[in-house]
């Protein structure tokens, strides 16, 4: 068990028992682990299924698992057996946080209900991540990122206007659920300073997916109109979409009249900002097609990366549309320290930058059951 070398981290001294698998829970606990928490990741005897979600693989473990399980101790445990339950209870004796994403009723079946855990460990913050929660019309049913995207309206507003509803190209619901879980845990730990009591946190993919529906839900509440797909275009702002240039695509996110006037100036057509069709954002929305047809030939004279740089320096939101490789090799990505490198291990770094207690890489993603014996030796368990 390698100990921190560079810094104790903002969450140094916080002990987290992580029973979660796949993405939402592990992403949450990696956030905590990056900032100093001691996270004990407990996998079932079959292992976290994401170990097999490849290729690519490194020494038999998929990149998917490696991407969200650094800075954790790796344990394997059969919680359906008395020995496994005894091991877990020994770990929880001095734990601050328990994170799990079992289907509701699973822990209860093993005699580990939230109520019994709160009674046995009154200061424990118990975070449960599920698809829909334990009750209600969908209570107890399993949840999955793509299904939440489909059911909770995200797919309905994602995709081309004349195309099919489209899944967002990354597991956005799982990840925002992990973020909300980490936020909830820190709130509960902060409240515990006053009450000296833990509490149960009920975080669901369903709720978190719904929380992402801005501005579409706000638009619907005010207008009563069902939001539609608009491709890369924004339903409330124009020009706010991608355009082809002479080399590469550029995304323009022009949010006010001043920015539009600056865009027109950079493109050599300052009179555009006084064109009656484009005077205000409402005008530009009403004449969206005409605006796009006007901008397209002007933008085709430029190169996306260079033009975006010029526009940004002028105060006009713009960016080249990069692929993953281009982004990871971008000099600003390196400047911000957003790629972790340790030997053959590379990963996205923590985006949370703290001046005195920064995130650190203290241990690589664990092999299956890597720390079983070392951790067991520190516990009073047979």
Residue 143 pLDDT exceeds 50: yes
Query: For residue 337, what pLDDT is reported?
Result: 96
Structure confidence by residue, pLDDT tens digits, 201-224: 999 999 999 999 999 999 999 999
| Total tally of structural domains belonging to the chain | 2
- The answer as to whether 225 is a domain residue is no
**With the C-alpha atoms ordered 328, 329, 330, 332, is the resulting torsion angle positive or negative?**
positive
- Residue 284's CATH number: 3.30.1540.10
Mean pLDDT of the chain: 94
Q: Per the residue annotation, which of 34, 48, 96, 174 is the catalytic one?
A: 174
Residue 181 pLDDT exceeds 70: yes
Whether 94 and 14 have beta carbons less than 8 Å apart is answered as no
- pTM of model > 0.85: yes
- What is the arithmetic mean of pLDDT over 323-352? 96
- The answer as to whether 83 is a domain residue is yes
Query: For residues 129 and 136, what is the distance between their CA atoms, to the nearest angstrom?
Result: 16
Residue 190 pLDDT exceeds 70: yes
Whether 245 and 303 have beta carbons less than 8 Å apart is answered as yes
Residue 169 pLDDT exceeds 70: yes
Q: Are residues 170 and 304 both part of a single domain?
A: no
Q: Are residues 43 and 148 both part of a single domain?
A: yes
Structure confidence at residue 379 as a pLDDT band (50, 70, 90): confident
Q: Is 174 designated active site? A: yes
- The answer as to whether 340 is a domain residue is no
- Residue 19's CATH number: 3.40.50.10540
Q: Are residues 173 and 269 both part of a single domain?
A: no
- The answer as to whether 124 is a domain residue is yes
Q: Are residues 248 and 165 both part of a single domain?
A: no
Domain span at residue 201 reads 15-212+350-376
Structure confidence by residue, pLDDT tens digits, 359-368: 999 999 999 9
Alpha helices in 114-171 (DSSP H): 114-120, 145-151
Residue 8 pLDDT exceeds 90: no
């Amino acid at each position: 068990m390698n100990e921190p070398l560079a810094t104790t981290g903002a969450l140094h001294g916080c002990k987290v028992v992580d029973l979660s698998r796949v993405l939402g829970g592990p992403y949450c606990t990696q956030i905590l682990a990056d900032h100093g928490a001691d996270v004990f990741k407990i996998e079932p005897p079959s292992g976290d299924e994401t170990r097999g979600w490849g290729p690519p693989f490194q020494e038999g473990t998929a990149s998917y698992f490696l991407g969200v399980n650094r800075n954790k101790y790796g344990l394997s445990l059969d919680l359906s057996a008395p020995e496994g339950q005894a091991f877990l209870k020994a770990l929880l004796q001095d734990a601050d946080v328990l994170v799990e994403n079992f289907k509701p009723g699973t822990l209860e079946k093993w005699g580990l209900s939230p109520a019994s855990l709160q009674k046995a460990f009154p200061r424990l913050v118990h975070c449960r991540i599920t698809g829909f929660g334990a009750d209600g019309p969908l209570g107890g049913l399993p949840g999955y990122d793509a299904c939440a995207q489909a059911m909770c309206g995200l797919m309905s507003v994602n995709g081309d206007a004349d195309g099919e509803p489209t899944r967002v190209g990354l597991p956005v619901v799982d990840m925002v659920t992990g973020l909300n879980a980490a936020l909830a845990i820190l709130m509960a730990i902060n409240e515990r300073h006053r009450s000296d009591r833990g509490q149960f946190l009920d975080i669901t993919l369903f709720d978190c997916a719904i929380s992402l529906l801005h501005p579409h839900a706000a638009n619907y509440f005010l207008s009563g109109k069902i939001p539609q797909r608009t491709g890369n275009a924004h339903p409330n702002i124009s020009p706010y979409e991608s355009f082809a240039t002479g080399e590469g695509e550029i995304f323009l996110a022009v949010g006010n009249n001043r920015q539009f006037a600056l865009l027109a100036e950079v493109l050599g057509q300052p009179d555009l900002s006084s064109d009656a069709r484009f005077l205000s954002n409402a005008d530009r929305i009403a004449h969206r097609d005409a605006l796009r047809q006007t901008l397209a030939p002007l933008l085709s004279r430029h190169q996306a990366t260079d033009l975006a740089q010029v526009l940004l320096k002028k105060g006009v939101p713009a960016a080249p549309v990069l692929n993953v490789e281009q982004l990871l090799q971008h000099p600003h990505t390196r400047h911000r320290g957003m790629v972790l490198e340790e030997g053959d291990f590379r990963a996205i770094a923590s985006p949370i930058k703290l001046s005195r207690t920064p995130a650190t890489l203290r241990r690589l993603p664990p092999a299956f059951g890597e720390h079983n014996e070392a951790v067991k030796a520190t516990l009073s368990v047979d």
